[in-house]
Amino acid sequence: MARNPQPIRTSAFAAPFAAGIVIVMILAALGAVASRADGAVRFGPADWAALRFTLWQALLSALFSVVFAIPVARALARRRFRGRGLLVTLLGAPFILPVIVAVMGILSVFGRTGWVSQALALLGFEPLSIYGLEGVLIAHVFFNMPLATRLLVQGWSAVPAEQFRLVGQLGLPPTVVFRTVEWPVLRQVVPGAFALIFVICLTSFAVALTLGGGPRATTIELAIYQAFRFEFDLGRAAALSLVQLAVAGGAALLALWILPPLVMQAGRDRSPQRWDARTLTVRALDCFWIVLAAAFLLLPLVAVLQAGVFGLFKMPPLVWSAALTSIWVAIFSTVLLIALALPIAASLAHRKRGGLESVTLLGLAASPLMIGTGWFILIHPYADPQVFALPVTAAVNTLMALPFAVRILLPGLRQAFTDYGRLSGALGLHGVALWRIVLIPRIRPQLGFAAGLTAALSVGDLGVVTLFANPEFATLPLQMYRLMGSYRTDAAAGAALLLLALALAMFWMCDAWGRRHAAG
């Protein structure tokens, strides 16, 4: 029998309204930018270099992340050991880790005076120098290898347990298992993971700002910032913004078709038991990859903790006021995100594919710096843009989190409509009552997770705020960046620890709200 249509009404105008806000925020910025890009726009050699570097580093970042992720994910998928769950959870951590904190950790491990360099010096080698392409790649792999790994582990966990039982019973060798069971999943997941990471890295700013720079390692995003901040050349910033939009927007549209569904909910990891890959060599190899990945992810965090504890007492009072500002930014972003993501996701849940989804992807493609530049241009003639630093920063952070949030909320809402659409219709539940009584309770865990993600991303964001900052206004990541820039390493380390704690605490609070009284 055919499935019934869903006689459920959320709100006819909420979704177009929310989508409209997103579009207006982006298009207004784009229009403002474009209006400045007329006339004598010089797109010089430095700009071409930025474009080349942007594409090149994104390609390499995606490549290394996925190639590193495959053996790690394979090992995680077929081994069970104590701490495995913790490690899988840890793979989700880089997503909510403030970039600047990770950069500091990476510098402590791989930097010129870092642990690896110190070890090399003992052996009589030159210390590492990671500023430039190497540093950018290490940071991007640090952030995105875990994402690729999770997508792969998730893909392999979805293989029916019966297949692995059969594999074990027949005693199939690893090569055959790879061909018959593992390869089909890889073929499905890898292109999407690669595309996602490529798009994310295209608009990378904070990493390039801290680890790149100079003529040989400047991304377009960073070039926008420099044109704006150092030369106040709005025309050039505008031209670069348009290039960035074309590059990232084009890539995002291409990626739209192959993007994997994002199920990033922790604690949903139930891998089937496996009986293959029992030889000592294979086991040793798996162990090697797991230890390597764990060390690569954990050592920078350990470095941050260790240095931070000492630095906490050397922080200037400015750090505390910046922390307060950051908390406000995060709260504002999260509230706005919920107001935008819920109606858009609900509207998407009704249809199979919709234009609305591309609206959310605009957030992924449009560069934050472009939007920031645009709004600066818009506000400038009428008021001091710095007065609007907080709302603009918060709103741009919301736009960046929106595509992820919508994808997190969508499956739960679809399920809620399928299971309770008829009943809600029969009882005449719609509008606010429908959200309050049915939908929110049903998607509470996902909503908490999405809100937590947004809060953490927003509190740790070092992007558009750099355009609007002045000596009196700074968020915590920006304050930390300034401390690093003025070589107050201890104070910066303290700020890093504070920022890490804030991001984790905000994520945890929202996520815990979602899990508490989770609907049965």
Partner 1 sequence: MRGGEDMLRVESLRVQQGAFSLRADFEVAQGRRVAVIGPSGAGKSTLLGALGGYVDVADGRVHVGTRDVTNAAPDERDIAMLFQDGNLFPHLTLAQNVGLGLRPALRLSKAESDRVHQALRRVGLGDFAHRKPGDISGGQQSRAALARVLLQGKPLLLLDEPFAALGPALRVEMLELTSEVVRETGATLLMITHAPEDAEQAADDVIFVDDGRVHTPRAVADVMADPPEALRAYLGR
Tell me how far, at minimum, the Cβ of 426 lies from partner 1, in Å: 5
Q: Is residue 454 left, alpha or beta, with left meaning phi > 0 and alpha meaning psi from -120 to 50?
A: alpha
Residues 498, 257 contacting (CB under 8 angstroms): no
Q: Which of 58, 72, 60 is nearest to 150 (CA)?
A: 72
Smallest distance, Å, CB 347 to partner 1?
18
Report the nearest approach of partner 1 to the CB of residue 13 (Å).
17
Backbone angles phi, psi at 321, to 5 degrees: -70, -35
Of residues 119 and 512, the one with the C-beta less far from partner 1: 512
**Closest CB to partner 1 among residues 23, 433:** 433
Of the two residues 149 and 424, which places its CB atom closer to partner 1 in the complex?
A: 424
Residue recorded with tokens 């609907």 = 519
In three-state secondary structure terms, 352 is coil
Amino acid at residue number 419: D
Q: Which of 474, 85, 504 is nearest to 304 (CA)?
A: 504
Pick 161 or 432: Cβ nearer partner 1: 432
Q: Both ends of the chain: CA-CA distance in Å?
A: 28
Output phi, psi for 103, to 5 deg. -60, -40
Supply the minimum distance, in Å, between the C-beta of residue 355 and partner 1: 24
Neighbours of 232 (CB within 10 A): 9
Report whether 129 contacts 117 (CB < 8 A): no
Three-state DSSP at 217 gives: strand
Q: Are 445 and 513 contacting, i.e. CB atoms less than 8 angstroms apart?
A: no
CB of 338 to partner 1, least distance (A): 19
Instruction: Please give the backbone phi and psi of residue 213, each rounded to the nearest 5 degrees, phi first.
Output: 100, 175
Q: Chain-centre distance of CA 119, in angstroms?
A: 32
Nearest distance from residue 342's CB to partner 1, in Å? 17
When the beta carbons of 296 and 435 are compared against partner 1, the nearer one is 435
Angle between helices 99-110 and 133-157 (to 10 degrees): 110
Closest approach of Cβ 9 to partner 1, in Å? 8
Q: Tell me how far apart the alpha carbons of residues 121 and 294 are, in angstroms, rounded to a whole number.
A: 24
- The nearest distance, CB 513 to partner 1, in angstroms, is 15
Q: Which is nearer to partner 1, 1 or 40 (CB)?
A: 1
User: Of the two residues 246 and 423, which places its CB atom closer to partner 1 in the complex?
Assistant: 423
The residue among 254 and 423 lying less far from partner 1, judged by its C-beta, is: 423
User: Which residues are at the interface with partner 1 (CB under 8 A)?
Assistant: 1-2, 4-5, 7, 9, 419-420, 422-423, 425-430, 432-433, 436-438, 441-442, 519-520
